[in-house]
A = this chain, B = another copy of it.
Amino acid sequence: MPEAAVQVRELTFGEAIREALAEEMRRDSRIVLLGEDVAEAGTTFKVLKGLVDEFGTSRVIDTPISEPGFTGLGVGAAMTGLRPIVDIMFGDFLTLVMDQVVNQAAKVHYMSGGAWKVPMVVRATMGATRRSAAQHSQSLHAWPSHVPGLKVVIPSTPYDAKGLMKTAIRDDNPVVFFEDKISYTKVKGPVPEGDYTIPFGVADIKRQGRDITLVGTSSMVQVALGAAAMLEEIGISAEVVDPRTTWPLDEKTLIESAKKTSRAIVIDEGSFRYGVTGEIASVIAEGAFFDLDGPVRRIGATHVPIPFSPPLEDATVPTERQVFEMARTMCNK
């Protein structure tokens, strides 16, 4: 095999994000990172470890515990020449910054008739099963996805995370970027060195299949892939589609996959009701109705606050087995 021009290494999801941030910060001195314990501690998840050594405390900035405060500051900084990235340690704390993100960042461009823009990234985490209980385990990506003016990214692999993060940073709009906590160290994959970007609104078919479409978001892509492997053993060929961004949404790929397979399940880790699955399932149903064998089905987190107790918490998160069983039933096997 000829030596590849670009070296591809195995990185964890967290490493891929750090690499994207470091490369972008090298490229553009207007990028600053703001958040609690982002500097020497490198965040509580250690994802930013080392960045402060390279970029210094004027660009990797520890803030007080003031999520609304530093997010609001980020909006103003973005309007006036910087490209701030703010770190919301636990996505659950998005509750505190919705005004800055939704009433300010998302609307500034429109309300000003295009006069101002807000090139800002809000990094937030998502995902349960860390035994962190109800206020540290939520996946709240449905909320910003509902808000015109925002873009929302939910990467599932290290490769996607790096490329999408670069796109997010270079985007002139406010982008909310959700990182699955468990994936930080658990999910590994090939990541090219150096520069590449992945456009928003382009779904990725993570696995080709014929009999059923499994749409997964964030860590649920792994669950879908696991279920697909199980399904293969009983002769069902599942296609796994990862939208990668909830907004913009690649409706075409979703619809075409469902048309091809005639069945679809949408799997997401947010609370089940009025979440991401409703929109995606509706889009598929509207676009592929006459090619569908049956209704688009949905799996989300059990519609309860996330419990601390391990057996209870585990029961709230969608599993491979659950997807497998549903798919099998839908395929009449």
Residues of A within 8 A of B (CB): 92-96, 98-99, 102-103, 106-107, 110-111, 133-135, 142-143, 145-149, 246-247, 249, 270-271, 273-282, 285-287, 289-290, 292, 294-298, 303-305, 307
Set of chain B residues within 8 Å of A270, measured between Cβ atoms: 146
Set of chain B residues within 8 Å of A103, measured between Cβ atoms: 92, 95, 134-135
Set of chain B residues within 8 Å of A102, measured between Cβ atoms: 95
Q: A287 to B110, alpha carbons, bound, how many Å?
A: 39
Query: How many copies altogether?
Result: 2
**Cross-chain contact of A276 among B145, B247, B274, B296 (Cβ < 8 A):** B274
A-B contact pairs, 23 of them (CB 8 A): A93-B99, A94-B98, A95-B98, A95-B99, A95-B102, A110-B305, A110-B307, A143-B146, A146-B271, A146-B274, A148-B273, A149-B304, A246-B274, A249-B273, A274-B276, A274-B279, A278-B280, A282-B282, A285-B285, A285-B296, A286-B297, A286-B298, A290-B294
Q: A134 to B99, alpha carbons, bound, how many Å?
A: 12
Set of chain B residues within 8 Å of A305, measured between Cβ atoms: 106-107, 110-111, 148-149
Say yes or no: A148-B271 contact (C-beta < 8 A), given A99-B95, A110-B304.
yes
Q: A98 to B99, alpha carbons, bound, how many Å?
A: 9
Pairs of residues from A and B, 3 with the lowest C-beta to C-beta distance, nearest first: A278-B278, A95-B99, A289-B295
Q: A111-B134, A149-B305, A249-B273 are in contact. List 12 more A-B contacts (CB 8 A).
A: A107-B305, A110-B304, A111-B305, A142-B274, A148-B304, A148-B305, A274-B278, A278-B280, A281-B285, A286-B298, A289-B292, A289-B295
Set of chain B residues within 8 Å of A106, measured between Cβ atoms: 305
Say yes or no: A278-B271 contact (C-beta < 8 A), given A135-B107, A148-B304, A295-B289.
no
Question: When the two chains form their complex, are residues A148 and B303 in contact, meaning their CB atoms are under 8 A apart?
Answer: yes
**Cross-chain contact of A247 among B94, B246, B249, B273 (Cβ < 8 A):** B273
Q: A305 to B249, alpha carbons, bound, how many Å?
A: 18
Set of chain B residues within 8 Å of A94, measured between Cβ atoms: 98
Q: A94 to B106, alpha carbons, bound, how many Å?
A: 15
Set of chain B residues within 8 Å of A273, measured between Cβ atoms: 145-146, 148, 247, 249, 279
Could you tell me the distance in whole angstroms from the C-beta of A13 to the nearest C-beta in chain B?
A: 24
Question: When the two chains form their complex, are residues A110 and B134 in contact, meaning their CB atoms are under 8 A apart?
Answer: yes
Closest to A289 in B: B295
Set of chain B residues within 8 Å of A271, measured between Cβ atoms: 146-148
Q: A102 to B270, alpha carbons, bound, how many Å?
A: 14
Question: When the two chains form their complex, are residues B289 and A282 in contact, meaning their CB atoms are under 8 A apart?
Answer: no
Question: When the two chains form their complex, are residues B307 and A282 in contact, meaning their CB atoms are under 8 A apart?
Answer: no
Could you tell me the distance in whole angstroms from the C-beta of A171 to the nearest C-beta in chain B?
A: 17
Say yes or no: A146-B286 contact (C-beta < 8 A), given A103-B95, A134-B110.
no
Closest to A316 in B: B148
Closest to A101 in B: B95
Say yes or no: A295-B303 contact (C-beta < 8 A), given A96-B99, A247-B273, A279-B274.
no
